[in-house]
Structure 1
Amino acid sequence: MSLIKQLWIAIAIVTLIALGGSLVVSTLSARHYLEQQLQVKNLDNATSLALSLSQMPKDAVTVELQISAQFDAGHYRLIRLTSPTGEVLAEREYSGVLDGAPEWFISLIPIEPHAGVAQVQDGWRQFGTLTLESHQRYAYAALWQGTLQLLGWFALGGVLTGLIGTLIIRHITRPLGRVVEQAEAIGGRRFVTTPEPSTREFRSVVRAMNTLSERVRAILAEESRRLEQLRRQTQQDEMTGLLNRGQFLNQLDSALSRDDAHAAGTLLLARVGDLAELNQRVGRGATDRLLRDLAQQLAGLAGGNANWEAGRMNGSDFALLAPGREDAGELAHELARKLHDTLDAHLNDVRVALPVAATNYAAGENRSQVLARADGALATAEQAGDRSLRVESGGTHAPYPDLQSWRAALLSAIERDGVRLGAYPVVANDGRLLHDEAPIRVLLDGIWQPAGFFMPHAARLGVMPRFDIAVVHAALRAIAHDGRERGINVSAESLRDANFRGELFSLLQADPATAKRLWLEVPEYGALRHLAEFRTLCVALQPLGCRVGIEHVGAHFGELGDLHELGLDYVKIDAAIVRGIDSNAGNQAFLRGLCMIAHSLGLMTIAEGVSSAAEQKALPGLGIDGMTGPAVREGAAA
């Protein structure tokens, strides 16, 4: 119940109590006063009439006429003249009803004044006794009107008091709205702070809540720093800061299993020739500085692009993984130029071999195939010269020769309802189905193609928002058909598209019951690059009941500093961390810390790309709440 309602109830109770007490006191006082006045009137009128009768002839007609005249001239209930023996000589009595007030009021508050009594003389002899009673109906009418007026004034006073009190309470409790918003935000796992109000009681509450939010923020920041430090220790090469071989291969496996706009890409390898001889000629310190500068060039190239990763495969070999970039030749020439310039800047008088190789890859390829192709290209480049470059074509052959053909085919698939969803179970640790992951499938040339086949071209053409809206339509239809919850991806391109967000909100608002069974997830790089738009999406979708999460969470989780303000429901851990988790102690520690931070924010943690029973068995002990991947089946507990 609101404070305003409680105020009105309190005012009503106080008004009723005051009214009741006032009515009792004033009514009893008025009744006593009216009884006294009627009693005095009865006595005065009886004395006056008795004096008149004493001076008049005592025949029955004259006496009767005098009493009738007096009765008709005044407001009397009874005038009676009795002889000394008790015989009634004359009598007039009002036989009507009391109409000055309601019957219940008359019965509740009786007015009973004493009758006026006087003696009538006939000379020196007593003629009779005169009894006179005035009528009470006018007294009741006056008492009733006074009671109604008092009730009206109290009602008016109560209403005015309530209105004034409401305005005062609203003014006083204006800061309470911000307190409520902050409390709701904390309840929604958004630890925000608000300015302290001037009201002392509210100020202490807001200060305590701000302290709580700041403390949680500080704890999360500290844990994120520790997690990042642990990640560097377990996943990065100590000297160069690039990913070590094991983690880089995990990233390659994850890239080959993607089914979004970054499903295809390029793998590049570079090798510093004869590293042992270089150590002898220029010294270990100079060689280490050179390797660090080469690594910095690779890291700089990777850091400016989403999902790109650079790694050190061994002492002399470096690798760059570029998802979403398929022009391998152009990228290889850019990388070779940067690396060769770095060599020349360090070693003016020493010629060092540094061949570069590149190959394309496509979604669904085997890691060994891609690595074999890249290693073969690097070996060919080494044989061709000390700073040669070799590009090996690979991946799936494109069915369309140019982007315009791709555009026509993709838009035709949307317009002709050539879009459907797959279904891969996402289950809790006890085997309970959380939702079906629903990747898009598109009909191209009579074949249903997976997302990784066409998404890179859709992203390049700028039509991703149209495909994502088609996915939302398909997911809502599927949920309405079988009632199973669905999880769909929202691309970074759609996230920053205002038209897409508006159409998405309209679709979900039009069917709130179905919207509550929808899981929406955005890739980590999309949430990082478009944090403002992602926050807008989260705030807008929260009242609709659908769940919002981040997928492919991994190395950049610590950069989501404002994660606690978004009100998310879950995160999906990238397959690069999950791969081989049963035997990788470093990734186990990192995943355990990541899950601890997520759980402190109330987030569910789901592992992606679970490919073996050993991984499935190890994940719950590390804090994972659910999982999906080739090894996961609905109803099978981990």
Structure 2
Amino acid sequence: MSLIKQLWIAIAVITALALGGSLVVSTLSARHYLEQQLQVKNFDNATSLALSLSQMPKDPVTVELQVAAQFDAGHYRLIRLTSPSGEVVVEREFSGTLDGAPEWFSRLIPINARPGIAQVQDGWHQFGTLTLDSHKRYAYEALWDGTLQQLLWFVIGGALTGLIGTLIIKHITRPLGQVVEQAEAIGGRRFVTTPEPGTMEFRSVVRAMNTLSDRVRTMLAEESRRLEQLRRQTQHDDMTGLVNRGQFLNLIDSALARDDAHAAGILLIARFSDLAALNLRLGRETTDSLLRDIARHVGEFAAQHPDWEAGRMNGSDFALLAPGCEDPGDLALRVGQALHAALDARPEGHTVALPIAASAYAASESRSHLLARVDGALATAEQSGDRAIRVAERIDKSPPYDDLQAWRNALTSSIERDGVRLGRYPVRTSDGRLLHDEAPIRLMLNGAWQAAGYFLPWVARLGLMPRFDVAVVRAALQEISASGAQLGINLSPESLCDATFRGELFGLLQAAPQAAPKLWIELPEYGVVRHLGEFRALCVALRPLGCKLGIEHVGARFAHLAELHELGLDYIKIDAAVIRGIDTNAGNQSFLRGLCMIAHSLGLVTIAEGVSSDAEKRLLPDFGVDAMTGPAV
């Protein structure tokens, strides 16, 4: 019960007690006063009438007329004149009813005023005894009116007291709203701090909660820093700081298994020809400095895009993985110009050979085919010159549509005629229970249902991602309403920044209040890092609707999510590059264990992506993974 309701109840109880006590005391006091006044009136009027009768002739008619005149002139209940022998000489009595106080009130509070008694003389002899009793109707009426007035004032006073008290309580408890919001945020795994209010009691509570939030934030920051150090030690090359060969191969596998707008991309490799001879000619320190310089420039290319990765494949090969990039020739030319210029800026750089090769890749392509294609182009570049650049063309079917406009027409036509279907890939807990189904989009194109990796790169290129994401949300809600299944869908970072999409998303979810809590919505880690403000706003807006929110492909940039504790997430999906070969990779095992520990401290469910073997499936629960998905699941 709220404080305002408790205040009103307290005021009502106190008012009732005060009114009851005051009514009893004031009514009894008024009754006693009225009784005294009636008694005095009865005595005075009886004495006055007896004196008048004593001075008048005592014939029956005169006496009766005098008594009748007195009775008619005043408000009397009874005037009676009796002889010394007890016989009634004259009597006038009011036998009707008069309006005044309610009868129940008269019975509840009786007024007992003694009648006035006086002696009537006839000379020196007693003529009779006069009894006079005034009517109590006006006394009851005055007592009833006073009681009503007092009751009215008490009601008005209680209402005014309640209103003033409500305003005062609202002013005093205004900081309580912030305390409640902070408590709800902590309950929702968002460890925020609020300014301390002026009220001493509230200030103590807020200070304690702020201390808790600061401790959790500090703990998470320290664990994130430690985890990032561990990741760099196990996944990066010590000398150059780039991703090492084992992890880079995992990243390639993860990129080839993607089923989103960045399912296609480019792999580029730059090679120092004859590194052993270079070491002998320049010396180890100079060669190492040269390698670090080239690695820095390759890393700068990767840093310009949140989902690109730079790695060192071996002593002489530096690689760049560029998901979502479309033109391998342009990328190879830009990287070549930058690296060759960096070499030329060094005194010994003019004599260093650095050929470059690149090739585009597509979803579901095998890693061995991609590496063989790039290695072949790199061998050709080495034979063509010290600074040669070669692009390996993919041997693939010709695209079904010739240009962007044809792709646009085909995509929009398919989505407009409801050529949208959702796939189903289970996400299961370690004990085999179904957590939810991943539901990637499928589109009817060229007479067949195509996977997302087939057409989403073109959708992104044409700027249609928000429109397709709306179609996915609509299809998922319809399927949930029909089957009651828990479905997980992916949204793109482009949609996250689109105001029209956000409005349509909220409208669809609000229109399906029973289906919305069964919808799992996730965005890629690189998109969240890049658009953290928009993602936080999405979390705040969707939380009341009951949707479960998560981040997919979590791994290399987990430490960048410094404000993860404020987002109120429900789960994270750990990137397949971390999971691949986890049964034999001790470094990734330590990183995964620390990542799951931080996630669990925030109350997040951890899901492993791309589980491809039974060995991985058996070991993942030991590292803290709650659920998993992939070919082995």
Partner Cα distance (1:25, 1:78) in 2 = 31
**Aligned: 1:548 with 2:549:** yes
Note if contact 1:362-1:396 (Cα within 8 Å) is conserved in structure 2.
Answer: no
On the 8 A contact 2:579/2:616 being kept in 1, the answer is: yes
Q: Is the 8 A contact 1:50 1:130 kept in 2?
A: yes
| Separation in 1, partners of 2:309, 2:498 | 27
Q: Which residue is equivalent to 2:327?
A: 327
In the alignment, what sits opposite 1:626? 627
- What CA deviation, in whole Å up to 9, does each residue of 1:288-330 have, x standing for no partner? 1111111111111111113111111222222211111131122
Higher deviation after alignment, 119-128 or 8-17: 119-128
State TM-score, norm by structure 2. 0.96
- In structure 2, the partner of 1:116 is 116
Matched, 1:238 2:247: no
In 1, distance between residues paired with 2:35 and 2:156?
30
Q: Give distance in 1, aligned partners of 2:396 and 2:577.
A: 23
Match of 1:473 in 2: 474
407-416 or 34-43: which moved more? Answer: 407-416
1:109-135 CA distance string (max 9 Å, x none): 111111111222333333332222111
Shift of 1:33: 0.2
SS in 2 for 1:111: coil
Q: In the aligned structure 2, how far is the partner of 1:208 from the partner of 1:494? A: 39
Q: Could you say if the C-alpha distance between residues 342 and 65 of structure 1 is closer, same or farther in structure 2, counting changes exceeding 3 Å?
A: same
Query: C-alpha displacement at 1:395, in angstroms?
Result: 6.6
Take 2:347 and 2:285, find their aligned partners in 1: how far apart are those partners? Answer: 13
- Does 149-158 or 426-435 show the bigger shift? 426-435
Shift, 1:226, TM fit: 0.7
Distance in 2, Cα, partners of 1:82 & 1:349:
147
8 A contact 1:361–1:395 mirrored in 2: no
Describe the shift of the 1:396–1:523 C-alpha distance in structure 2 as closer, same or farther (beyond 3 A).
farther
- What is residue 580 of structure 1 aligned with on the other side? 581
Deviates more, 1:138-147 or 1:128-137: 128-137
Equivalent pair of 1:469/1:504 in contact (CA under 8 Å): yes
- Alignment deviations for residues 68-121 of structure 1 (CA, whole Å, 9 cap, x no partner): 222221111122223333333332222123531112211211111111112223
1:128-156: CA deviation from partner (whole Å, max 9, x where unpaired): 32222111110000001111111111112
The worse-fitting range, judged by mean Cα deviation, of 355-364 and 159-168 is 159-168
Distance 2:357 2:349 in 1: 25
The separation in 2 between residues aligned to 1:129 and 1:619, in whole angstroms, is: 116
Deviation at 1:446, TM superposition (A): 0.5
Q: Which amino acid aligns with 2:576?
A: A
Which stretch has the larger CA shift, 162-171 or 593-602? 162-171
TM-score between both structures, scaled by the size of structure 1: 0.95
Are 1:217 and 2:253 an aligned pair? no
| Counterpart position of 1:70 | 70
Superposition pairs for residues 190-229 of structure 1, below 5 Å?
A: 190-229=190-229
Secondary structure of the residue that 1:619 maps to in structure 2? helix
Residues in 1 aligned to 2:242 and 2:377: alpha-carbon distance in whole angstroms: 22
Instruction: Measure, in 2, the Cα distance between the counterparts of 1:65 and 1:624.
Output: 114
CA displacement at 1:40 relative to structure 2? 0.9
- Residue 257 in structure 1 maps to residue 257 in structure 2: yes
1:115, 1:595 → 2: CA distance?
Answer: 97
Provide the alpha-carbon RMSD of the alignment.
1.8
Query: Residue 404 of structure 2 aligns with which residue?
Result: 403
Give the CA deviation at 1:347: 5.0
SS of the aligned residue for 2:515 comes to: helix
Match of 1:34 in 2: 34
1:338 aligned partner: 338
**Matching residue's letter, 1:198:** G
- The residue identity in structure 1 corresponding to 2:82 is T
Distance in 2 (alpha carbons) for counterparts of 1:509 and 1:166: 35
Question: In structure 2, what is the Cα distance between the partners aligned to 1:99 and 1:154?
Answer: 26
Q: Distance in 1 between matches of 2:609 and 2:43?
A: 106
1:350 CA displacement: 6.5
Identify unmatched segments of 5+ residues in structure 2.
none
Q: Closer, same or farther in 2 for the Cα pair 1:445/1:90, shift >3 Å?
A: same
Moved more, 254-263 or 110-119: 110-119
Take 2:592 and 2:543, find their aligned partners in 1: how far apart are those partners?
27
Alpha-carbon distance in structure 2 between the residues aligned to 1:226 and 1:342: 33
Give the match for residue 164 of structure 1. 164
CA contact (8 A) 1:67 1:79 kept: yes
Aligned 1:358-373 pairs, distance under 5 A:
358-373=358-373
* Cα shift readout 1:510-553 (whole Å, capped 9, x = no counterpart): 22222222111111111111112111211111111111111111
Residue 304 of structure 1 corresponds to 304
- Residue 149 (structure 1) aligned with residue 149 (structure 2): yes
Match for residue 316 of structure 1?
A: 316
Q: CA separation in 1, counterparts of 2:626 and 2:71?
A: 100
Distance 2:430 2:207 in 1: 40
Residue 635 of structure 1 corresponds to which residue in structure 2?
none
Q: 2:550, 2:86 → 1: CA distance?
A: 105
**Structure 2 CA distance for partners of 1:542 and 1:396, relative to 1, 3 Å:** farther
**What is the correspondence of 1:29-108 to structure 2 with a 5 Å cutoff?**
29-97=29-97, 99-108=99-108
Residue 555 of structure 2 aligns with an amino acid whose one-letter code is: G
1:559, distance to aligned residue in structure 2 (A): 0.3
Q: Tell me the residue number matched to 1:125.
A: 125
Match of 2:600 in 1: 599
- CA offsets, 1:323-346, max 9 Å, x none? 111311221222223333333333
| Post-superposition offset of 1:396 | 4.5
State the alpha-carbon separation in 1 of the partners of residues 413 and 589 from structure 2. 46
